[in-house]
Chains A and B, each alone.
Chain A
Amino acid sequence: MKFTRSTHLNQGQAIKGAGKSIASRLWMALLVGLVLAAAACAPRAGDDATEPATTAATAAPGQAATGQASTPAAATAAPAPAGGGESRSGYERGTLRRLYSDPPTLDPHLATDATSSAIIVEVFGGLVTIDLDLKVAPDVARDWLVSDDGLVYTFYLREDAVFHDGKPITAHDFKWSLERATDVVTEALGVEQYLGDIVGVDAKVSGEAREVSGVRAVDDHTLEITIDEPKSYFLSKLTYPIAFVLDRENVESGNRWVRTPNGSGPFKLEEYVPGERITLARNPNYHLGPPHLERVRLILSGGTSMLMYENDEIDVTGIGLADLDRILDPNHSLNSELMTSAPSFSTTYIGMNTTMPPFDDVKVRQALNYAINREEIASLVLADLVEPAKGILPPGFPGYNPDLPGYEYNPEKAQQLLAESKYAGNIDDYPIVLTVAGGLGASVDLDLESITRSWSEILGVDVQFQQTEWATYLQDLYKNRFDMFQVGWVADYPDPQNFLDILFHSESSNNHTQYSNPEVDRLLEQARTERDQATRFRLYQEAEAIIVDEAPWASLWHSGERYTLVKPWINDYYQLQLIIPKLRFVRLTE
Chain B
Amino acid sequence: MSIKSEKMYDGITNIDDELIEAAQDDAAKSKKPAKWLPWAGIAAAACLGLGVGAAALSGVFGKIPVSGGYKTGTGISAGNAAAKLIAKAEYPEVPPYPEDNYSDWDEYDRKYKAWADTLSKLRNQPEGYTDGTDKFFTSSIKTILAGNGGNRVYSPLSLFMALGMSAEITDGNTRKQILDLLGQDSIESLRSHANSIWLANYMDDGMAKCVLANSVWLNNNISYSQDVMNRLCIDYYASSYSGEPGNEEYNKLFQDWLNEQTDGLLENYVENIRLDPEMVMTLVSTVDYAGKWIYPFSADNTKSGTFHSPGGDVTCDFMNKEFDQSYFWGEKFSSIMMNLENNGAMKLILPDEGITPEELLNDDETIEFLMTKNYDWKNNKYCMVNMSVPKFDVSSEIDLVEQMNKLGVTDISDGSVSDFSPLSPDGGSGVFLSKATQAARVEIDEEGCRAAALTVMEYCGAAMPDGKADFILDRPFIFEITGTTGLPLFVGIVNNPVQ
Query: Do A and B associate with each other?
Result: no
Chain B residues in contact with chain A, CB under 8 A?
none
Chain A residues in contact with chain B, CB under 8 A?
none
